[in-house]
Structure 1
Amino acid sequence: MIRRVPAVLVACALALAACSTSPTTSGAAASSAGTFVVATAGEPDTLNPVLNYGVDGASLIFDGLVARDAGNALVPGLAAALPTVSPDGKTVTATLRDGVTFHDGTPLTSADVVFTYQAILDPKVDSVIRSDLDMLASVTAPDPKTVVFTLRYAYAPFLQRLALGIVPAAALRGKDVNQADFNRKPIGTGPYRVESWTPGDRLVLTANNTYFGGKPANAKVVVAFVADDNVRAQRMRAGEFDAAELAPKLAAGFDSVGGYQVHKVDTADYRGVMLPMGNPVTGDLAIRKALNSAVDRTAMIGGVLGGAGEPAYGPVPPTSEFAEPTAAGRPGSDAAAATAALDAGGWAAGGDGIRAKGAQRASFTLMYPATDSLRKELALAVTADAKKVGIEIKPEGLTWDAIDTRISKDALLMGFGTPYDPDFTSYKLFSSQFAGQGYFNPGHYKSPVVDEALQDGRDLADPAARKAAYSTFQKQLATDLPWLFLAYLEHTYVVKDAVAGVQPRVEAHEHDVANSIWWNIHTWTRK
């Protein structure tokens, strides 16, 4: 899921939510021994893994053939052991666990695994993750317990793709997967089954007491969808939630409040400004160079993030084995370098302090989702730094629906990132073949060098060759600057002291229902 939050809720709905006394999300329910209530800004568009729900695992409703432990290392999931890979890297074989059933009691078989992956490859299915499986030639089931994946080429991180949740073939075979009721009322094998989903409000999950991983320690989980950061913080303070995702400054407000713990979770989640190549200002390399020099990333980390993050210069996190250190820049601002870039690019100083090239003023709009307070503050910080060197930025908070219509021409404060493999997000985000496909490369960035490096990164099996390819990719990106990378975040959560069993792990950009600090909520208890 690319969007960080859904469309903005109307003010009256937010007010009602803030004053809710429903038995599901009230403070009394949150303190119930058998129920945990958690709150997040983001809401899925679907609950079907085929259509991009919880594809990296920890979805609470589904399981993949593999899972990840607290250190993000791969461990067996629905597979009895980690799948085996042939010497040439082109055949991957998985053997299923015994006795696993779906929530409706039907047994899991290899046919369900085959159906899941074939559905993604089916061109009639609107799956945005189809390109993730470009390497997959076929998936077959020689017997009810065995699944064989045949690859077109050796793809080093393929086992990580097997964290995708498996759906029951019987529930979807012969149906239009794009419109199926299953997408809102799914059947999985995970620790929780879906009781109800009220769009814009909550997802209610009940324990799967026959879960192969053991009966969940709690009977129910309620995921409250609260798009507005401030409203979510108010409701957390009112005692409605056991845990909530909050912006760093809002989370810091709980540091001195008894009964709560603030968790700063390491991530590979970056924020940056996507700069459209077709815009007459952001499409000019001199402007992009000037912005890259002018922004004070160190000040942003301290002021906007409250210290919960580190400077970002590219889409591969510094903690990754694929990170290219020479592509990193200086954390502070360099006004002299910014001014030199603008002078060299023909952007002359104007009487009003804003530079211009001929009749074109150095001015552009920077969009951000209106309910995301962190992105708003980052947008304002970028605006202030840019003005110091003669670039006018007009920040504009919008709904995602409004942003959708303008992402090819106006800059956007975006977020992406994965701690797993650099192919997972960078391929779609920077390859020219995805230019203009929604939130994949919305700025229409095109570079033959980047295209070749990204393709090599997914085609080559040799670790050294892959590292070289991603080094080339990062260096070229640092030259072209299609994004103004700002910061890698620490995700901040507030959790009640009474909650036991919380195990933070390095997180990706996506962390709403799946892959949040509550990835192991089925093991949580109360002290």
Structure 2
Amino acid sequence: MRDGITFHDGTPFDAEAVKKTIDRILDKNAPTPKANMFGMIKEVKVVDPHKVQLILHYPFAGLLSVLASAEGGIISPKAIEQYGKDLSKHPVGTGPFVFESWTPGQEIVLVKNSSSMTLGRYESFAVDHIGMNVTKKPFDDVRVRQAIAHAIDKEAIIQGVYNNVGKVAVSSLGPKVIGYSPNLKTPDYDLNKAKQLLAEAGYANGFKATVYLNDNKARINVAEVLQSQLKGIGIDLQIQVMEFGAYLDLAAKGQAQMFISGWGNATGDADYNQYNLFHSTSKGVPGNHSFYANPKVDELIEAGRKEKDPQKRKAIYEQAQQIEIDEVPLIPYRSSENLAAIAKNVQGITISPSGYVEINDVTIQ
């Protein structure tokens, strides 16, 4: 850690702060949503005020990308003690703006700490997808899931809903993510093939189903397009729009037949998507809302975590992604882009692929 850095509350940004942050994440008596991401860490040792040693349960090639991302953000020890469970309402950082207040649904007020400012078109790590709960009929039959994949015209969604902002997704990984492969074979838009697969699965006349989603306007529009497209193969799709928290709760409990969602990536590494979306231990709250489980995929994801050679890791993740595409727990349809309106007198602002507005180099003319 660099010398002389302090949090906005005056607390030193040092090795003790790193240890307290990670120990808090791994506290089994009060687990946080990030516990799954840091589970490979066995112990944090303070070597000196500006150096820590991380002892791991097993090798994890993606550790540095996690620590360098917002997921690895270090928290002020003073703030942890002061705010407890309300910490998310009182963020304390080290950057150019200091948090002043937050009125949910209305505004966040930041006060200038040193210098900076806010927006263009920037490629993103995030991918939007349509999911199916593989434990619920008729989606427990892979042929039904494959039929739906063949019945979705992704190009029409990108053009009609997003006005060509974003690109057709190849897999659950965006093109900028480490582990992405352009060599994957994805289902073509083919209604005849879709109808054939449904007939083979015993649903020649289609069936009724419900897709769940949160009250995001774009996703509501996607649901309406999906409803129209699936009607072409005899599927009567009902749309259930919910408040975001209620939707997440329902999906995490495995109560959603189909769902429209997305997954960002704060680290830029394949593990962030693969482990949370597809590993069998991530069913429910961590992110595997398809309740998908495949021992071979688990094995590959775990191997990808431990492999140090970048090319070997890429090959491992390519194999895992191809299995996921073939078994269709999720249908990735859009690699997203981040848009921002930037005043002409504002220079140097960008949005990182992980979706964060980078304001450290901003100048105002």
TM-score > 0.5, shorter chain as reference = yes
Q: Does 1:146 align with 2:51?
A: yes
Aligned residue number for residue 197 of structure 2: 341
Cα distance, 1:324 vs. partner?
3.6
Aligned residue number for residue 485 of structure 1: 332
Out of 275, 279, 290, the residue aligned to residue 427 of structure 1 is 275
Cα distance, 1:117 vs. partner?
1.2
CA 304–176 in structure 1, closer or farther in 2 if over 3 Å, else same = closer
Q: Residues of 2 paired with 1:403 and 1:167: CA distance?
A: 29
Out of 141, 145, 157, the residue aligned to residue 300 of structure 1 is 157
Cα distance, 1:406 vs. partner?
3.2
Q: Residues of 2 paired with 1:183 and 1:399: CA distance?
A: 20
Does structure 2 retain, via aligned residues, the 8 Å contact 1:409–1:443?
no
What do the CA deviations read for 1:155-212 (whole angstroms, capped 9, x no partner)? 2222122222222224435x784x2x4432233322222111222222211122xxxx
Q: Residues of 1 paired with 2:88 and 2:125: CA distance?
A: 28
Q: Does 1:468 align with 2:315?
A: yes
Q: Does 1:116 align with 2:15?
A: no
Aligned residue number for residue 289 of structure 1: 146
Alignment of 1:119-130 (within 5 A): 119-130=24-35
Aligned residue number for residue 255 of structure 2: 409
Alignment of 1:348-387 (within 5 A): 348-349=204-205, 355=206, 362-370=207-215, 372-387=216-231
Does structure 2 retain, via aligned residues, the 8 Å contact 1:291–1:386?
yes
Q: Aligned-pair RMSD on alpha carbons? A: 2.2
Aligned residue number for residue 397 of structure 1: 241
Alignment of 1:235-314 (within 5 A): 263-314=120-171
Cα distance, 1:431 vs. partner?
0.8
Aligned-partner residue type, residue 350 of structure 2: Q
Gaps in structure 1 of 5+ consecutive residues: 1-95, 209-214, 219-241, 244-262, 350-354, 356-361
CA 404–489 in structure 1, closer or farther in 2 if over 3 Å, else same = closer
Cα distance, 1:142 vs. partner?
2.2
Q: Which has the higher contact order (CA 8 A, sep 6+)?
A: 2
Gaps in structure 2 of 5+ consecutive residues: none
TM-score for the superposition, normalised by structure 2: 0.90
CA 108–439 in structure 1, closer or farther in 2 if over 3 Å, else same = closer
Q: Residues of 2 paired with 1:328 and 1:451: CA distance?
A: 20
CA 106–125 in structure 1, closer or farther in 2 if over 3 Å, else same = same
Does structure 2 retain, via aligned residues, the 8 Å contact 1:313–1:478?
no
Does structure 2 retain, via aligned residues, the 8 Å contact 1:315–1:417?
no
Does structure 1 retain, via aligned residues, the 8 Å contact 2:151–2:233?
yes
Does structure 2 retain, via aligned residues, the 8 Å contact 1:297–1:487?
yes
Taking every aligned residue pair, what percent have the same amino acid on both sides? 27
Does structure 2 retain, via aligned residues, the 8 Å contact 1:265–1:490?
yes
What do the CA deviations read for 1:326-356 (whole angstroms, capped 9, x no partner)? 43325x621111111112112123xxxxx2x
CA 379–119 in structure 1, closer or farther in 2 if over 3 Å, else same = same
CA 467–380 in structure 1, closer or farther in 2 if over 3 Å, else same = same
Aligned-partner residue type, residue 342 of structure 1: L
Aligned-partner residue type, residue 263 of structure 2: F
Q: Residues of 2 paired with 1:278 and 1:444: CA distance?
A: 7
TM-score for the superposition, normalised by structure 1: 0.64
Does structure 2 retain, via aligned residues, the 8 Å contact 1:314–1:328?
no
Aligned residue number for residue 165 of structure 1: 73
Cα distance, 1:138 vs. partner?
1.4
Cα distance, 1:433 vs. partner?
1.0
Residues matched between the structures, number: 358
CA 317–217 in structure 1, closer or farther in 2 if over 3 Å, else same = closer
What do the CA deviations read for 1:397-419 (whole angstroms, capped 9, x no partner)? 22124324532232110001327
Cα distance, 1:319 vs. partner?
4.2
Does structure 2 retain, via aligned residues, the 8 Å contact 1:498–1:526?
yes
Aligned residue number for residue 33 of structure 1: none
CA 195–504 in structure 1, closer or farther in 2 if over 3 Å, else same = closer
Cα distance, 1:421 vs. partner?
0.5
Q: Which of these two proteins has the greater Rg computed from alpha carbons?
A: 1
